Amino acid sequence: MKRYLFLSNILFISLLLLMNLDLSWAWTSPDCTIADSSLLSNISYYIPFCSLAPGLHIFASCSNVNDLAQSLAKLPRRLEALCLQGTVPILLADAFGHFPTLQLLRLQLGTVKVTSRAFQGLYNLKYLFFEHPTPCCLNLFLPPDALEPLKFLNSLSLQSYCLNSSHNIQLPISLRHLTLKHSCLTELQELQGLFPSLFPGSTLTENSSLPSSFLEVLDLSANPQLSQVAVRSLDGLQLHSLRLDGIPLNTSELIGSGLSHLHFLSLVGTGAEKVPGNIAAYFELRALDLGRNQIQSIGNEDLVGCHSLELLNLHANGLHSLSTHFLNALPQLQKLNLSMNKLGPTLVLPEGMVSSNLRVLDLSHNGLSALPCGAFSYLPRLQELRLSGNNISNLSSKTLEGIRRLETLDLSWNQIKVLKPGWLSGLPALTSLNLLGMNTEFFSGQVLQGPQNLSHLWLSSTDFLELFSLWPSTLLSLEVWSSVSVSFRIPRGEPFLLLENLTLQSRYVLLQSNTTIHFPSLRHLTLRGCNADIFSVKQPQRSFVQLPFLEQLHFWSDHDRSRSIQLSGMPRLRVLELGNLDSLSDSSPVNLEVLLKELPKLEVLVLSNLNVGNLSVSSFRNMGLLRLLVLNSEWALGLDSSLQELIPQMPQYVYFSNVTFTCQCESSWVGPWAVRAPNTFVYGLQKSICMANASDISKTPLLSFLSGHCQNDIELQSFLTSFILVLLLIIFALLGCPKWPWMRHLWTLFHAWCWKLGGWHHRHQYKYDVFISYCGQDREWVMTELIPALEQPLSAGEVLRLCIPERDFEIGQDRMDTMATSLKSSRTVLCVLSHQALSSLWCNLELRLATYFMVAKPGTRRLLLLFLEPIDRQELHSYHRLARWLQKEDYLHFPQRRMEWESFWKQLREKLRKSVQEREDQEL
């Protein structure tokens, strides 16, 4: 009886707390943008964010950061990328310890001092950037061991920072890219004092197990004070790429720098007047970038020693003549960029200009107007030819003969008016053709005959463009521009069977009378400037009737809006962007209910300048899959109180950009919803304004108006409070009934849920910290390597309590019972997995039991999987169940190289120590 009396007191206190709780279902973080990287292409035009590395998921970008701890407090813990801009003078220890999954960290914090343990806990960090937006030199202090916790750091960038007070910075051996731009470097020899671990001859590398050289890319661009290269300043350094862009160096000094290995050298904008053939010969360079220099002519003597080059970039040099044996001197050359030079008006090829290896040639923007017959016949392996931005007016099959392997041809923005059938007959391998900027009004698919697999096509005309029949059936993407109209004169029954991407930029899209064009495979449709009647239900002849596989529609129109737009026949549409559909001639609001009613799978909705008017619950019916909602440039937007019905199903991300609301108390629910609970991230409300009427110019902040003029909407809170009160009273009555023993099981589940929610884990409940599961074939490795490593004392003197079946199971006991009891008494289960272990019945049984205990009491136990060799996770029993309960960091891969073992053991012990420490803190 005392137990139930105690329980009633607990429930009563919970009820009192609940009645004082301001219930809400969304959250916001001022000056921060939080999003999913998979949605970036849909919000980048409207919402500012920093550049990211590919493959990342959840990211946050914050500005005006002054109090770092306060700014980070409201960010989700499972971020993979974080960008911070503001003023933070010092980074304290464990500054980012709440973000263990962070892989990219970009900091623009002004003058900053980094403490030794500032990056503690960032074991997964791969990209670290210290940047300043202007090319000045701020002070940055990095202690020698600041980067020590970053065992997987791949790229380190320091831009507009001076490291004058920093010395002997230890770089992780995983580092591959190092950037120092706009720094205070005056001599390359300073790198030896800053990063001694880069150089094999330093004291640090002699007394450690570091490899002789681990860096691949060194970028020292934009350091104008770096005027000389001292002898042996890069002694022993081996690089794949070295970038010295914008530095007025004497590149010949690199020969005596001690640099022992180099593949790629970039000297963009250094003022060079000649090709540095001596440098190319000394290092046997494979790639040389000399863009934006002053190399106006190239003689035969300039190319001596360049025989190893595979890539040569001479972009924007004012080049007007080439060596008579230009390509003969470059037998290995595969990519040549001669764009933005002065090789026109007639392409004059040097005698004997022949290359059997050249794959890519760029002659864009050279003032070319005439190409001789067989101009490229000496390049039999050419695959990509770019002639954009010239004055070419005529092409024939003889001009392009001899390059039958050509796959990409760019003829955009020339003076081409007429193309005759058969001009592509000598290009059977062509897959991509760019004809944007043509001055033609008629284009027939017949002129595209010749290529067998033409997949990507770009077309344009100044005013009108009519497209006639005989189109290649292999087209996958088509982009057409015309300022007035695009007219499809294609007979019935000739569909674009394989077309997946279609972009039309024109005011009108016209069809031949009584003709419908079918796009059965279309996935992505973009319409820019098209009249909205293209989707009008009142049009007798619609351009797009059935698009069964369409997934993305981007529709921008700056013309009169049709009065009845309806998007039908698109059952798989996931992304919808509608922009600029409002016009002064028709100010009536768009009916979203009609517009969206047949789009049940919509995940992303972007509305810009649409004149939405008032948003209500009827606008979003049957849209339970919506993840992202963006409202941009809306005027007098109202949020109806009926939207509260959708609060539990609100999209994960809601963005308001340049939106002016209507000052009305009917939207009073928006304030509490937008700032407190974690189901939806809301951006833009903090800075939004509202107006009372059309003549109101007061620019009243929306949230200030709602808090100052509107009473708190307590209807929802009162309903939920009374509902939960009745529910708790019913539960209390049922728990007091001794005739229903099954209620004890419900109470046990509720108790486990409460423990998971509160994070209560008491160490004294468990006999062991770690249970180690392994098979007999892996026994020797476990006993000689794993156990000695785990039994070493931790940093605070603690020792992990290990359960090893072979050692701790008593003789004579039933192994099945002992194993189940030991697993139940262990806080963490470490499964050592190999192909032999996956074939072991005992190992599979232990894994199943560990999974069962973890699911039965969520949050009270942990399961770690240690892979001794590469294994596909799909081979694990109950893989899909494990995928739901295990986090990314619960999968451990043992390194194959012995030099990495010590750091792995340290990381594993630290992971287990933090788990023990958290439990002891909770207990206290």
Mean pLDDT of 318-332: 86
Mean pLDDT of 294-307: 89
8 Å CB contact between 605 and 627: no
Return the number of other C-beta atoms located less than 10 Å from residue 712's C-beta: 13
- Look at the alpha carbons of 841, 843, 849, 852 in this order and tell me if their dihedral is positive or negative: negative
Taking phi over 0 as left and psi of -120 to 50 as alpha, with beta for the rest, 672 belongs to alpha
Query: CA dihedral in degrees (614, 616, 622, 626; nearest 10)?
Result: 70
Q: Which band of pLDDT confidence, cut at 50, 70 and 90, is reported for residue 884?
A: low
Give, in order, the Cα–Cα distances in Å from 302 to each of 269, 278, 282, 314, 380: 19, 9, 14, 13, 25
Q: Provide the β-strand partners of residue 772.
A: 830
Q: Which band of pLDDT confidence, cut at 50, 70 and 90, is reported for residue 665?
A: confident
Residue 24 has pLDDT above 50, yes or no: no
Q: Which band of pLDDT confidence, cut at 50, 70 and 90, is reported for residue 921?
A: very low
Query: CA dihedral in degrees (695, 696, 698, 703; nearest 10)?
Result: -150
Mean pLDDT of 55-84: 88
- Of 144, 141, 157, the closest CA to residue 193 belongs to 144
Q: Which band of pLDDT confidence, cut at 50, 70 and 90, is reported for residue 377?
A: confident
Mean pLDDT of 528-557: 76
**Cα 158-159-160 angle, rounded to 5 deg:** 125
Cα gap 104→706, rounded to integer Å: 38
- Of 706, 828, 833, 717, the closest CA to residue 767 belongs to 828
Q: For the stretch 451-490, what's the b/e string if a residue is b when 16 or more beta carbons lie within 10 angstroms of its beta carbon? A: beebbbbbbbbeebbbbbeebbeebbbbbbbbeebbbbeb
8 Å CB contact between 363 and 387: yes
Q: What is the 3-state secondary structure (H, E, C) of 27-41?
A: ECCCCEEEEEHHHHH
Locate 858 and state its tokens. 């969520």
pLDDT computed for residue 367 by the predictor: 92
8 Å CB contact between 266 and 289: yes
Q: Which residues contact 286 (CB under 8 A, 6 or more apart)?
A: 263, 264, 308, 309, 310, 311, 332
pLDDT computed for residue 130 by the predictor: 95
pLDDT computed for residue 382 by the predictor: 94
Mean pLDDT of 424-444: 89
8 Å CB contact between 466 and 487: yes
Q: Which range (147-151, 538-542, 722-726, 771-775) has the least confidence? A: 538-542
pLDDT computed for residue 207 by the predictor: 47
8 Å CB contact between 416 and 441: no
Mean pLDDT of 113-135: 92
Please report the DSSP string for 644-664 in residue order.
Answer: GGGGGG--SEEEEES-EEE--
* Residue of 255 and 742 predicted with greater confidence: 255
Unique residue bearing structure tokens 């009008």: 536
Residue 760 has pLDDT above 50, yes or no: no
8 Å CB contact between 109 and 84: yes
Cα gap 625→651, rounded to integer Å: 8
Cα gap 795→120, rounded to integer Å: 14
pTM for the full predicted model: 0.72
Taking phi over 0 as left and psi of -120 to 50 as alpha, with beta for the rest, 31 belongs to left
Side chain identity, residue 580: N
Locate 9 and state its tokens. 């007191």
Q: Which band of pLDDT confidence, cut at 50, 70 and 90, is reported for residue 222?
A: very high
Mean pLDDT of 701-716: 71
Return the number of other C-beta atoms located less than 10 Å from residue 11's C-beta: 16
* Residue of 570 and 558 predicted with greater confidence: 570
CB-count burial class (<10 Å; 0-12, 13-18, 19+) for 231 = exposed
Q: Which residues contact 136 (CB under 8 A, 6 or more apart)?
A: 160, 182
Return the number of other C-beta atoms located less than 10 Å from residue 104's C-beta: 21
pLDDT computed for residue 176 by the predictor: 94
- Look at the alpha carbons of 129, 132, 134, 140 in this order and tell me if their dihedral is positive or negative: negative
8 Å CB contact between 357 and 331: yes
Mean pLDDT of 358-384: 91
For 585-607, how does the pLDDT look when each residue is reduced to its tens digit (9 = 90+)? 455 667 787 788 888 889 999 98
Share of the chain above pLDDT 90, in %: 28
pLDDT computed for residue 513 by the predictor: 64
Residue 561 has pLDDT above 60, yes or no: no
Mean pLDDT of 757-778: 71
Q: What is the largest CA-CA distance in the chain?
A: 105
Cα gap 489→509, rounded to integer Å: 11
Side chain identity, residue 763: R
Residue 747 has pLDDT above 90, yes or no: no
Cα gap 550→572, rounded to integer Å: 6
Q: Which band of pLDDT confidence, cut at 50, 70 and 90, is reported for residue 19?
A: very low
pLDDT computed for residue 761 by the predictor: 45
- Of 618, 629, 630, 616, the closest CA to residue 664 belongs to 616
8 Å CB contact between 191 and 219: no
Q: Which range (165-169, 205-209, 546-550, 629-633) has the least confidence? A: 205-209
Backbone angles phi, psi at 597, to 5 degrees: -65, -20
Q: Which range (123-132, 240-249, 524-533) has the least confidence? A: 524-533
Please provide the average confidence, as pLDDT, over all residues in the chain: 81
For 249-275, how does the pLDDT look when each residue is reduced to its tens digit (9 = 90+)? 888 889 988 898 899 999 999 999 999
Mean pLDDT of 568-588: 73
Q: Which residues contact 32 (CB under 8 A, 6 or more apart)?
A: 60, 61, 62, 63, 71, 74, 75
8 Å CB contact between 862 and 766: no
Mean pLDDT of 849-869: 76
Taking the alpha carbons at both ends of the chain, their separation in whole angstroms is 29
Q: Provide the β-strand partners of residue 478.
A: 457, 502
Q: For the stretch 80-89, what's the b/e string if a residue is b when 16 or more beta carbons lie within 10 angstroms of its beta carbon? A: bbbbbbbebe
Q: Provide the β-strand partners of residue 159.
A: 181
pLDDT computed for residue 870 by the predictor: 81
Give, in order, the Cα–Cα distances in Å from 77 to each of 62, 85, 96, 99, 126: 15, 19, 10, 5, 17
- Of 538, 572, 530, the closest CA to residue 555 belongs to 530
Locate 450 and state its tokens. 């010749």
pLDDT computed for residue 23 by the predictor: 38
* Residue of 737 and 14 predicted with greater confidence: 737
Cα gap 840→215, rounded to integer Å: 42
* Residue of 486 and 245 predicted with greater confidence: 245
Unique residue bearing structure tokens 């080439």: 322
C-alpha count within 13 angstroms, C-beta hemisphere, residue 475: 22
- Could you tell me how many residues make up the chain? 924
8 Å CB contact between 389 and 364: yes
CB-count burial class (<10 Å; 0-12, 13-18, 19+) for 815 = exposed
Residue 22 has pLDDT above 50, yes or no: no
Which range scores top for mean pLDDT: 339-353, 360-374, 811-825? 360-374
Query: Which ranges constitute the DSSP H helices of 558-683?
Result: 592-596, 670-675
pLDDT computed for residue 868 by the predictor: 87
* Residue of 204 and 697 predicted with greater confidence: 697
Q: For the stretch 636-651, what's the b/e string if a residue is b when 16 or more beta carbons lie within 10 angstroms of its beta carbon? A: bbbbbbebbebbeebb
